[in-house]
Amino acid sequence: MSRNSDENYGALWLLTPTVLLYVATFFVPIIMLGVLSFARFEMSVTTIGFYFDNYIKIFSDGITLKIFFQTVRLSLVITFWCLILGYPVALMMRSCSPKMKMVLLFCVVSPLLTSIIVRNVAWLLILGRSGIINDTLIQWGLTSKPLPLMYNEFGVILAVVHVYLSFMVLPLFGALNSINSSIEEAASSLGAPSWRVFLSITLPLSLPGIMAGCTLVFILSMGVYLTPVIMGGNFVLTLPMLITESVREQYDWPFASAMALMLLLAIGFMVILSSGVQKLVGRR
């Protein structure tokens, strides 16, 4: 018994570097954010204390909450489109040949292999007023003036979905690939049409992958910064942009810390909600 305990303690020592890394890069910054969020910022001077000025400002300035809910709405829209576009791709990857599966996997993952600057510049060349789409439409006589494809929510959503689609497809593919195909074949052999098999068997059994993908995409979308700046300009504001502005231009670290904590609380609520839904689905 003591020998097993010694081996367990020896194995735990192997986790020490990882634990120290998490403490230094996650827990310490979170504690610092919490302390700064209750500080007071007056006349460009930060006073450490227990003040609620920053949280009162969030709920009373009429801007921060509006931008927060806009960020949540954009994240939900991005998550929705990633699910709508990613589920058919995951289904196709499940049923296609190994070679075609590798091709689709490369297409899905390839946006992550390039720099975020390169991706956004490519979208600028495609969606800009003199971009490929607008030039083609004008040359074909389908429109007389360039369409507003950039510096709006459409451009931001399209560029973010292009990147985060892989974070939806991979969990969905894992969930779909783990489904025993004999269950679907048995339902088909009993006379169930394809749509009934999908709605009654495939879709319910893939719900863990759906929840995992939606959670990942929502969390990443809530914190995205550079893509809305480039694709949305000053016309689409998100909470990470407001946090960056408070730090860079106003040097208001306490208010930025309060907004960052609010963002973390929203993300934490989404994770808890997703976990609860997965447990409920598991029981059913």
Tens of pLDDT along 189-216? 878 788 888 888 888 888 889 998 999 9
Q: Give the span between the Cα atoms of 79 and 217, in whole angstroms.
A: 6
Q: Using an 8 Å Cβ cutoff, are 172 and 93 in contact?
A: no
- With a pLDDT cut of 70, the percent of the chain lying above it is 95
pLDDT recorded at residue 23: 84
Q: What is the pLDDT of residue 2?
A: 53
What is residue 145's three-state secondary structure?
coil
**CATH code of domain 58-283:** 1.10.3720.10
How does the average pLDDT of the chain come out, rounded? 86
pLDDT-derived band of residue 170, with 50, 70 and 90 as boundaries?
A: very high
| pLDDT surpasses 80 at 180 | yes
> What is the structure's pLDDT at 108?
87
Residues 6+ apart with CB under 8 A from 213: 82, 83, 86, 167, 168, 169, 170, 171, 172
Does residue 155 contact residue 232 with C-beta atoms inside 8 Å?
yes
> So what's the pLDDT on residue 165?
92
Task: Using the structure block, give the residue that is written with the tokens 């927060």.
Answer: 68
Instruction: Indicate the burial class of 221 (C-beta count within 10 angstroms; 0-12, 13-18, 19 or more).
Output: buried
pLDDT exceeds cutoff 90 at 218: yes
Q: Indicate the DSSP class of residue 192.
A: -
How far apart CA 10 and CA 203 sit, in angstroms, is: 44
Q: Position of tokens 């909450």?
A: 65
Contact, 228 vs 156, CB < 8 A?
A: yes
